[in-house]
Structure 1
């Protein structure tokens, strides 16, 4: 119920629609009595006595003859159709408004997650939560909640009216009711478990497909097609088995419900005829028997539908539970800073910083260093030494375990997170481009950066000629992840993206590690331009690219082992940097 109440809280902005749908459900329950009652009047007052002109009194009003009853039937039918139409439309409309708001809130919440959360969560499962699970929640409103309320109201109104007309026949109709209610309850419990399994298998299937499609190149390079195909068949089989279980429960329940309904009709006809034959003291009109047959259907049909709607409701509630679990996840970077990071000088200081991606496994140990405003500092070391981790911590993608990171003599936590990150531009080794134009990938839809600004910046760092050579130039669509461009071209786009943002601090992470010689020269020229008079941190694998750095920090196993300029470090006999440089120099000589 707490989950249900929480979900209903999202309808508050749409109270009028919510109340109208609820009112429509009540009116539908009342109108449902109209047609059976009018059929009863037609049979008892006109058809059996062969009197088609007699006046009828219905709800205290007189209607002329058989024709008047037929006209009333048409009015009731039209009213029921219009009510049903508006009920279904606005129930669906309300559901779509709720899931729009819920999906927006979920995505906004996910945007603020720490990188650690994404490191530990499968992308396919997150996509399932944000897309298909939320879509399933919409069915709670369109096919579940209000439909159940409407059906329950119909049952209550019908049952009350039946009792008023003939308590004897009503008692007959209720004989099988406990059996149906018990079967419905058992069915509901079984379906809840089944649908939880279905949603779990849907997530697994989405996650598997998303990973294999993304990594298709690796699958084909290593001839893993057959292996992955067999794994997919197994996962798909589990998905099918989960769904077949729900089909099995449905195939058992609905025939039982149908059989109970038929038995009830048979009993009503039998007892009604017996009462008319004089076995009972109270005779029942034929019209009443016909009316009770119709009303019993209206009593049992909603019961069968409620069970079906409970399936929908169960699926929606399972999906809602999964979505709310993400919304309740406390993986947000703390953003309690008040300072606005505008026009930073670019001074950076790490003070005794400890950090580990996994608890009790430190990646950085008691790390301390300073970067003066306008300096270019290079960080080198073996893979896993902690170089890229420094960048992640500077941008506050992760929270440090101990120590402090200072920016312009103030703690990084003192700044508003958005303003701090707006002053730091990062060019990663693995450049990510969206399936959009080059211009939009550079500006990232920032309205403050015009196309003229981008073109001017591109000319300044020597990238304009390359972009202009592409079809449609800056409007060229690079497709998903930028597959239409080479790795070197993607790096150039990333450099331009960093440059036009005019950051106070620039970070280059292995920016030339996987590009050709021509692109590397363009990138090196661009680096010289965009790092000029700007605090820059360069993580480099090729040591030849960092000779001009003001300071080089050498790291090993999360600790600083050496620090100095290129020349100073080369003079240290047996030094880590010198050995690393000589190995690379010898490799280049051999090449």
Structure 2
């Protein structure tokens, strides 16, 4: 998949093969009883429908010449009954196939979404999220008609075709052979367009993916767009991508539309040939051909080409679906690089000692972000990590939670290699607050409780009070029951961070990871928050990343990281005495704490 680009077409890692159709069948297999029942119903319906031309032939050749009014009435009633049965069967078929198709679609979508939950951060780092989303929604939806109607209709129409040919042969063999002469021509047309059609739909899905990727990016960045007055430029880009998708789609459907005219033309030619030959044979007194036979046979001709048309439509749908199946299964087959070993065990209750042993890590091969990182954080100690942007600070804490695999080295917690335990049991005992304070749509209460789904309302409120969030929450229209939008657009950046902070606290972890936890909180609120932090960090091993150095002065150890290495390590006083990198960084920052009056109840004043 294209790396973080909306204007680069996706490339498949593997070519399509018919094993993928077998995989599609694996989703259909659990519903085979419903499919068999529906197919049986459709075969019965198709078989009943075959009697209509025979009945017409009997009326024309026997009842009308003999003026048998009673026979015409009886046989007409029989015909009405047959049509009523067919209507009931079709109604039942629509109900079953609709439910069947949606059940299969749900399972495919569920599998791809479940797999996305397991994929590591690296998968999402490298891909436009819109291109991931289009696979879960649009591509799966595109299979709906194929699974709801296409497969069952195709199977039943195959049986219908067999019934029709049998009835046609029973009426007249010569006329049947004339009708079948059109099939080789149709097969030649299908063979000619099949490769071009698949490629065309692949290109169309590429352009659709690009368009969706840009739409998702534009929505996420709408504030920046309007702030920098980029609306017109974005519209130009959108129109360009939309135009390319429109062109690709038109080229793809062009091949689809080639089949229907071909079938219609072949049907018309063979029908005309049968009329010409049939009339000439009747006029010549040919044995076995009457007006009733010719009318019955022409009735079957229409019925013969109808299932052929359906089969051609299914073929079109299948080729279209192939281009989507390739990408759906490619996503499901995406390897889960960060996963449990077969021998992985549950992580025992964590005490909190964390050790890095010569850790080497890179996002891209040959470009190490961390190069030989080694340190030990003992139980209950707070470790701060500072350094310039891009030094590898966030990478260090991401590795503790095992969001990525190491290139080499070890990370031990309480002497246990984190590669030897299950990921779930490891992460459940950690509290993580990342730079992106993500707020889910729902209530404030639900967002904080995300850290511990079993927490009571009182525990949620206590966590909010600890991080100085309670007062601003109570100031909202419904307090903790206030609904917030996705990403918390109704809240300020500082408020979102405080909620995320309460969420991490509520998890009551033995290892706490705070990545720029106070970056969006003003200095005054931060002072009060320090008291909550001291209570929060007590008895826990913590790792704190902060550009605002005033928040980490009390840490047991401070690591100064740059160029993937630890250049300095010690507490605040030790590093200041060294007058090295940390000293230079610290003195360059203005000390806001000295400017704030003591004992001021800033949380009550709503200083954020």
* Range of TM-score over shorter length: over 0.9
C-alpha separation in 2, matches of 1:483 and 1:350? 38
Which shifted more, 183-192 or 194-203?
183-192
Instruction: Evaluate the alpha carbon distance shift between residue 13 and residue 174 of structure 1 in structure 2; reply closer, same or farther with a 3 A threshold.
Output: closer
C-alpha separation in 1, matches of 2:109 and 2:54? 46
Do structure 1's residue 165 and structure 2's residue 174 form an aligned pair? Answer: no
Q: Which residue of 2 aligns with 1:308?
A: 313
Any conservation in 1 of the 2:161–2:304 contact (CA below 8 Å)?
A: yes
Any conservation in 2 of the 1:35–1:77 contact (CA below 8 Å)?
A: no
Any conservation in 2 of the 1:433–1:481 contact (CA below 8 Å)?
A: yes
Q: Which residue of 1 aligns with 2:584?
A: 579
C-alpha separation in 2, matches of 1:527 and 1:511? 11
- Within a 5 Å distance, the mapping from 1:277-296 to structure 2 comes to 277-280=283-286, 282-296=287-301
For structure 1, the residue ranges without an aligned partner over 5 or more in a row are 54-64
The match for 1:434 among 431, 437, 440 is: 440
Do structure 1's residue 422 and structure 2's residue 428 form an aligned pair? Answer: yes
Shift of the alpha carbon at 1:193? 2.3
Q: Which residue of 2 aligns with 1:328?
A: 333
Q: Give the 3-state SS of the residue equivalent to 2:143 in structure 1.
A: helix
Q: Which residue of 2 aligns with 1:152?
A: 158
Q: Which residue of 1 aligns with 2:351?
A: 345
Q: What's the CA shift string for 1:552-576, capped at 9, x where partnerless?
A: 1111111011111100111113x11
Q: Which residue of 1 aligns with 2:277?
A: 271
C-alpha separation in 2, matches of 1:377 and 1:537? 5
Shift of the alpha carbon at 1:132? 1.2
Shift of the alpha carbon at 1:32? 2.8
- Within a 5 Å distance, the mapping from 1:146-545 to structure 2 comes to 146-280=152-286, 282-336=287-341, 338-444=344-450, 446-545=452-551
C-alpha separation in 2, matches of 1:286 and 1:2? 51
Shift of the alpha carbon at 1:34? 1.9
C-alpha separation in 2, matches of 1:403 and 1:137? 46
C-alpha separation in 2, matches of 1:157 and 1:190? 33
Shift of the alpha carbon at 1:172? 1.8
Instruction: Evaluate the alpha carbon distance shift between residue 199 and residue 31 of structure 1 in structure 2; reply closer, same or farther with a 3 A threshold.
Output: farther
Any conservation in 1 of the 2:464–2:499 contact (CA below 8 Å)?
A: no
Any conservation in 2 of the 1:443–1:449 contact (CA below 8 Å)?
A: yes
Any conservation in 2 of the 1:563–1:569 contact (CA below 8 Å)?
A: yes
Any conservation in 1 of the 2:171–2:297 contact (CA below 8 Å)?
A: no
Which shifted more, 157-166 or 367-376?
157-166
Q: Which residue of 2 aligns with 1:62?
A: none
Q: Which residue of 2 aligns with 1:44?
A: 61
Q: Which residue of 1 aligns with 2:605?
A: none
Q: What's the CA shift string for 1:397-419, capped at 9, x where partnerless?
A: 00000000001111111222111
Any conservation in 1 of the 2:516–2:546 contact (CA below 8 Å)?
A: yes
C-alpha separation in 2, matches of 1:382 and 1:291? 87
Do structure 1's residue 10 and structure 2's residue 27 form an aligned pair? Answer: yes
Shift of the alpha carbon at 1:432? 0.7
Q: What's the CA shift string for 1:107-165, capped at 9, x where partnerless?
A: 11111111111111211111111111111122222232222222222112211210121
Instruction: Evaluate the alpha carbon distance shift between residue 587 and residue 479 of structure 1 in structure 2; reply closer, same or farther with a 3 A threshold.
Output: closer
Shift of the alpha carbon at 1:253? 3.5
Any conservation in 2 of the 1:143–1:312 contact (CA below 8 Å)?
A: no
Any conservation in 2 of the 1:188–1:307 contact (CA below 8 Å)?
A: no
RMSD of Structure 2 on Structure 1 (CA)? 2.1
C-alpha separation in 2, matches of 1:491 and 1:561? 30
Shift of the alpha carbon at 1:446? 4.8
The match for 1:555 among 561, 565, 581 is: 561
Q: What's the CA shift string for 1:177-214, capped at 9, x where partnerless?
A: 22123223334443322222221211111111111111
Q: Give the 3-state SS of the residue equivalent to 2:542 in structure 1.
A: strand
C-alpha separation in 1, matches of 2:294 and 2:488? 73
C-alpha separation in 1, matches of 2:234 and 2:513? 38
With normalisation by structure 2, the TM-score equals 0.91
Which shifted more, 339-348 or 578-587?
578-587
C-alpha separation in 1, matches of 2:180 and 2:433? 73
Q: Give the 3-state SS of the residue equivalent to 2:364 in structure 1.
A: coil
Do structure 1's residue 28 and structure 2's residue 45 form an aligned pair? Answer: yes
Which shifted more, 452-461 or 380-389?
452-461
C-alpha separation in 1, matches of 2:35 and 2:495? 53
For structure 2, the residue ranges without an aligned partner over 5 or more in a row are 1-17, 597-608
C-alpha separation in 1, matches of 2:523 and 2:550? 13
C-alpha separation in 2, matches of 1:43 and 1:196? 53
Any conservation in 1 of the 2:550–2:591 contact (CA below 8 Å)?
A: no
Q: Give the 3-state SS of the residue equivalent to 1:425 in structure 2.
A: strand
Which shifted more, 507-516 or 187-196?
187-196
Shift of the alpha carbon at 1:43? 1.6
C-alpha separation in 2, matches of 1:451 and 1:588? 34
Q: What's the CA shift string for 1:481-525, capped at 9, x where partnerless?
A: 011111111111011101111111111111222332344334333
C-alpha separation in 2, matches of 1:589 and 1:500? 31
Count of residues paired in the alignment: 578
Instruction: Evaluate the alpha carbon distance shift between residue 76 and residue 548 of structure 1 in structure 2; reply closer, same or farther with a 3 A threshold.
Output: same
Which shifted more, 513-522 or 111-120?
513-522
Which shifted more, 187-196 or 313-322?
187-196
C-alpha separation in 1, matches of 2:42 and 2:337? 42
Shift of the alpha carbon at 1:319? 1.4
